[in-house]
Amino acid sequence: MKLAHVIHDFFQHCSHRRASYRTFSLPLLLLALLAAPAANSAVMPQDSTHQSLGVVNCASSMCHGAISPWKDSHILHNEYSTWLRLDKHAEAYNVLLGDDSKRIARKLGLAKPASQEKICLDCHAHNPAPEKRGERFSLSDGVSCEGCHGPAEQWIKTHTKATATHASNLRDGLYPTDRPVEVAKLCLSCHLGNEKKLVTHRLMGAGHPRLAFDLDTFSAIQPPHYRIDKDWQERKGDYDGVRLWAIGQAMAVRTQLATLADPVQGRDGLFPELVVFDCHACHHPMSDKKWQPRQGTGPGHIRLNDSNLLMLRNIVRVVNPARAAALSAQIQRLHKSIAGETGMQGSDPLAEARKLSAMVDEQIVFFEKRHFSGADLHAILRQLIDEGLANGYTDYAGAEQAFMAIASVANYLQKTGDPGVARDINLRLAAMRKTLSNDEHYQPAQFKAELQKLRLVIAGSAARAQ
């Protein structure tokens, strides 16, 4: 992934993303509780039984196609313009017409061009069943409004009425993109995969780019076509960006473990589906000789891609310390079981994965009720750094996640009134980014040296603040 570009955009856009951190009145709190995720989760836009009508229905200048944001309105009204001009989702279908996609389709031996194959369209467009497409629906809209907000058949007419509420829109089939678990599930369905679609190692072998996703970073660079302010929170409930990030990490782990444990998706012939493992465990020159012990496993094994697990473990250490040791132990059991380490013979990796997944679910429920404070942010940042100083980021994927996480945390520190620390961190991030510019030549020692410098900077600003 083009990380340099990602982070460049990330910092360009972060100033637009001011969430307000106020104390809440009782009615607001009640509203937030009512908006809490329902036990039965929402139907994915693609699987809905409602008709999809097409972007053209949203694009009028009086609706969502204004040139610039309106003042004194709940919403910005220029959502369509932002999506069309700045959001890569509008281009997602066109990508399938390009040379890279032609090459991928040819190597996979697909019968039709990529732009007509379900396997590609399921992620590069909003792709409901043909009988669920309205007259003006077009696949070439790519990942359209309805691809995230759900088919509009039932809410297109009612959602603009004065009597419409967020709850009534949801009842009419609007997808709950405001709820952390649901939005994470939505984004991850394409940015990692789910039980129905997946960028497999075969797709990557044919040339599909490697996927890396961080809910907070990717929400910032999309860029957002919405403003999360007091008005948004009054309509949709309490917003906590760090909670959203934490839930995104946990949901990614959950998805990865589900893929691993799926008897169909998790296998590719004799081998497990390689996409849940660390790519560079296999893809590096034999002359590197850079193996180091980690997670209690010996040399010469494939390793699970544990980048999201590393983030989750550090979040849990800070906000739910009572469960941290058990979670870490189970993560290690899974690693050891996959590697068939001494003492683990006879242990079933899939059973270990399912056990870990249940623990992750428990954390998601915990996060949903937890407010993440400024003190939590500082502690999570320290944890993320210490993980690296203890050689936690020997794999590129882990370092990449840690980098996006540290950037997100710095962003929130800035917003919660700690601009001194954030500025210092931002300066170091530029240097740190350089050590990640090429995944194939990643040197863990260089990344670790940058973490060391970052820790000194943070200690320095903390001392100055006293």
Residues that bind ligand HEC in the complex, under the rule CB under 6 A = 1-2, 55, 58, 64, 74-75, 79-80, 83, 88-89, 91-92, 95-96, 100-101, 104-105, 108, 114, 117, 119-120, 122-124, 143, 145, 147-149, 177-178, 183, 186-187, 189-191, 193, 197-199, 201, 203-205, 208-211, 218-219, 221-222, 225-226, 232, 236, 274-275, 277, 279, 281-283, 302
Which amino acid does the sequence have at 226?
Answer: Y
Element (H, E) at 269: none
Closer residue to ligand HEC (CB): 139 or 275: 275
Minimum distance from residue 18 beta carbon to ligand HEC (Å)? 13
Minimum distance from residue 297 beta carbon to ligand HEC (Å)? 14
DSSP conformational letter for 456: H
Minimum distance from residue 202 beta carbon to ligand HEC (Å)? 9
Minimum distance from residue 146 beta carbon to ligand HEC (Å)? 8
Beta-carbon contacts of 9 under 8 Å, excluding residues fewer than 6 positions away, are 220, 221, 223
Angle separating helix axes 3-13 and 419-434, nearest 10 degrees: 160
Closer residue to ligand HEC (CB): 95 or 457: 95
| Separation of alpha carbons 365 and 149, rounded Å | 24
| Separation of alpha carbons 29 and 26, rounded Å | 5
Closer residue to ligand HEC (CB): 197 or 335: 197
Cβ atoms of residues 45 and 150 within 8 Å:
yes
| Separation of alpha carbons 430 and 410, rounded Å | 13
Number of CB atoms found within 10 A of residue 71's CB: 7
| Separation of alpha carbons 261 and 195, rounded Å | 11
Closer residue to ligand HEC (CB): 104 or 318: 104
Minimum distance from residue 213 beta carbon to ligand HEC (Å)? 7
Minimum distance from residue 291 beta carbon to ligand HEC (Å)? 15
Number of CB atoms found within 10 A of residue 39's CB: 5
Closer residue to ligand HEC (CB): 204 or 457: 204
| Separation of alpha carbons 226 and 69, rounded Å | 10
Cβ atoms of residues 320 and 366 within 8 Å:
yes
How many degrees, rounded to 5, is the angle at CA 2 between CA 198 and CA 310? 65
| Separation of alpha carbons 190 and 127, rounded Å | 12
Q: Of 312, 178, 340, 315, which is closest to residue 255 (Cα–Cα)? A: 312
Strands 267-268 and 271-272: antiparallel
Minimum distance from residue 458 beta carbon to ligand HEC (Å)? 28
| Separation of alpha carbons 203 and 210, rounded Å | 10
Q: Which DSSP string corresponds to 172-219?
A: TT---TTSHHHHHHHHHHHHTB-SS-B--HHHHHTTPPPP---HHHHH
Closer residue to ligand HEC (CB): 56 or 462: 56
Q: Of 328, 285, 283, 277, which is closest to residue 303 (Cα–Cα)? A: 277
Minimum distance from residue 453 beta carbon to ligand HEC (Å)? 28
Q: Give burial (CB, 10 Å; 0-12/13-18/19+) of 392.
A: buried
Minimum distance from residue 223 beta carbon to ligand HEC (Å)? 8
Minimum distance from residue 215 beta carbon to ligand HEC (Å)? 6
Closer residue to ligand HEC (CB): 166 or 317: 166
Closer residue to ligand HEC (CB): 183 or 253: 183
Q: Which residues pair with 220 in a beta bridge?
A: none
Closer residue to ligand HEC (CB): 231 or 464: 231
Closer residue to ligand HEC (CB): 353 or 458: 353
Minimum distance from residue 86 beta carbon to ligand HEC (Å)? 10
Residue 127 CA neighbour count, 13 Å, CB half: 16
Closer residue to ligand HEC (CB): 230 or 464: 230
Closer residue to ligand HEC (CB): 179 or 370: 179
Minimum distance from residue 385 beta carbon to ligand HEC (Å)? 25
